[in-house]
Amino acid sequence: MKKTSENLVKKQIKDCLNIMGWFHFPITQGFGSFKGICDRIAIKKGKVLFIECKGPNGKLTLHQERFKKYIKMHGGIYVEARSYEDVAKYEKD
C-alpha cells in the first residue's frame, strides 16, 4: 500500500514527538466521535497540543475549522502540521 503525503506527515510527527519525549496518542475517528477532532494529542510539561496532520495540499474541513476554533477559544494550542517542524517548534516554547 502506497503511503500518501498525509500518512508520511503523520509518521514523521509521531517519530518527532517520540524523540522529544512527548506523551502522545492518535485520536480514533468513527461512529460517535466528535466531527473534526484532531488526528493526535501530545502532552509535555503541562503543554497540550491538538495536532491535525495535512499533506502539502490538504485543507481543513468545515468541521475541522470549527474544532480548531473551539480549541483556541478555550486557550488550547491547535497545530495544523504539514511537517514535523510545525510540531518541533513547540519544544522551544
Is the pTM value of this prediction over 0.85? yes
CA–CA gap between residue 25 and residue 49 (Å, rounded): 11
**Mean pLDDT score across all residues of the chain:** 93
Identify the architecture of domain 5-91 in CATH: 3-Layer(aba) Sandwich (3.40)
DSSP sequence for 22-79: -EEEEPP-STTSPTT--SEEEEETTEEEEEEE--TT----HHHHHHHHHHHHTT-EEE
CB atoms within 10 A of CB 76: 14
Task: Look up residue 3 and give its DSSP letter.
Answer: P
Which tens digit of pLDDT belongs to each residue from 66-80?
999 999 999 999 999
Q: How far is CA 49 from CA 2, 31, 34, 84, in A?
A: 28, 24, 17, 13
Which tens digit of pLDDT belongs to each residue from 36-66?
999 999 999 999 999 999 998 899 999 999 9
